[in-house]
Structure 1
Amino acid sequence: MDNTVTWFEVATDDPEGAQRFYGGLFGWTFSASESGPIDYRMIGYPGAEQSGGGLFNTKGEFPGHAIFHVQVADVEEKCRETESLGGKVVTKVIDDGAGTDFAYLQDSSGNLFGVFHRR
């Protein structure tokens, strides 16, 4: 589908922490990739038949990065869960005036991402 996120990557020097964080927040699962010596883990999420992204262990050799937006049922709830899992709410829930609420959050490694809900 045009203009749809079809792949994303989370890069961190703490892949186990990232797995706990995203697995706890969204129910994502992780499996080893066939990337040879590179520690790259495929990300699966509820209802998806195939992976939509990957988790890359930077081993401190590259800067951490992640940017994506995840549709959720309740933005405020995800903000609370983010903080309880060691993340940070960067911006509180914002109403865009066109029927979408969103917030910018940071995971437990400090990577920025967004959550949104269309009313």
Structure 2
Amino acid sequence: MSGPALNSVAWFEIGSDRPEEVKKFFGDLFEWQFKLNKDLEGVDYHATITPGSPGPVGGIFDHAGKFDDYSVFYVLVADVPATVERAKSLGGEVVMEPVTDAAGVSFARLRDNTGHHFGVFSAPAPTE
């Protein structure tokens, strides 16, 4: 099976209240392409496809001014809730509790013990 290994950085996200401008900038700069993802109801999320990748490797989240703009990386893990608990035991803080979208992707956002923001996610096993 090809794909990112567990416990490796495997996704990125850029949050902005101006997603069209962000998409244009990165699209023009790196030839990224975007596809609207509707797997989480009420969320305007644009999956990001970079040259040579077989599918999305990141996303642009329209936070509609509800957050400060940000860029964050996500680490692929086997079990999001277990990883959240382990992070808390190491002094980490939960920024966003685990959620699961319609496609079965689970994710959460954390801060490490010194305040750095990052995410963790797991994806359902591929069907054959």
User: Normalising by structure 1, what TM-score?
Assistant: 0.52
- Quick one: distance in 1 between partners of 2:68 and 2:10? 22
- Quick one: distance in 2 between partners of 1:31 and 1:45? 11
Q: Which residue pairs with 2:37 in the alignment?
A: 33
Q: How well do the aligned residues superpose, as a CA RMSD in angstroms?
A: 1.5
Q: Does 1:53 align with 2:51?
A: no
Q: Which residue pairs with 1:23 in the alignment?
A: 27
- Percent identical pairs in the alignment equals 35
The aligned length equals 68
Unaligned runs of 5+ in 1: 69-119
Q: Secondary structure at the match of 1:6?
A: strand
The 5 A counterparts of 1:9-20 are: 9-20=13-24
- Quick one: distance in 2 between partners of 1:57 and 1:19? 11
The structure richer in strand per residue is 2
- Quick one: distance in 1 between partners of 2:51 and 2:31? 7
CA displacement 1:49-106 (0-9 Å, x = unmatched): 01111110011111110156xxxxxxxxxxxxxxxxxxxxxxxxxxxxxxxxxxxxxx
Q: Secondary structure at the match of 1:55?
A: strand
User: Normalising by structure 2, what TM-score?
Assistant: 0.49
- Quick one: distance in 1 between partners of 2:69 and 2:24? 16
Residue from 12, 21, 25 that aligns with 1:8: 12
Q: 1:26 to 1:4 in 2, by over 3 A?
A: farther
Q: CA deviation at 1:36?
A: 2.1
Q: Which residue pairs with 1:75 in the alignment?
A: none
Instruction: Letter of the 2:71 partner, please give it.
Output: A
